[in-house]
Amino acid sequence: MAGALLTGWQTAAQKEEAAAEDVEQAKQDLQTAQTEADTEAQLVANTEEWQAFRNETEARIKVNEARIAELKVKMKKSGKSMDALYADKINALEQKNKDLKTRMDNYEQNKTEWQAFKREFNRDMDELGQALKDFSVDNKN
């Protein structure tokens, strides 16, 4: 009887230990699943976030297009001897603006690595905006 009691006690302890291990494994599985879900959410833009970003970007591209058009008009009116140089710079800025628009359209088709795309695209948009500002200032001199 003592042997059966002792054996039964060990079995309960083993069961408790196994249950604790199962609970720990379930916690780890849940944490892994949550991490994977968070990573997936960061890679893909949700519909509202994408649409807001696209609308904002399209507006910025249109502003850039207007600035470029103004620069072209000012260049034609200036009659400066450096018109060819200014024309090349303006054309380069215009091409960068078109490239950004194309990148936006291409991203819309595959929508991967959202955070990286958004960060790099915003950086490039900011650089182009600053280049247009700087060119406007240089052109006035």
Question: What per-residue confidence (pLDDT) applies to 34?
Answer: 80
**pLDDT, tens digit (0-9, with 9 covering 90-100), for 100-113:** 999 888 887 666 77
Distance CA 141, CA 137 (A): 7
* Band of pLDDT at residue 49, cut at 50, 70 and 90: confident
Sequence ranges of the domains in the chain = 1-43, 45-140
Query: Tens of pLDDT along 86-101?
Result: 888 889 999 999 999 9
Is pLDDT of 25 > 80?
yes
CB atoms under 10 Å from CB of 103, counted, come to 15
Of 50 and 58, the structure prediction assigns the larger pLDDT to 58
Model's pTM, two decimal places?
A: 0.61
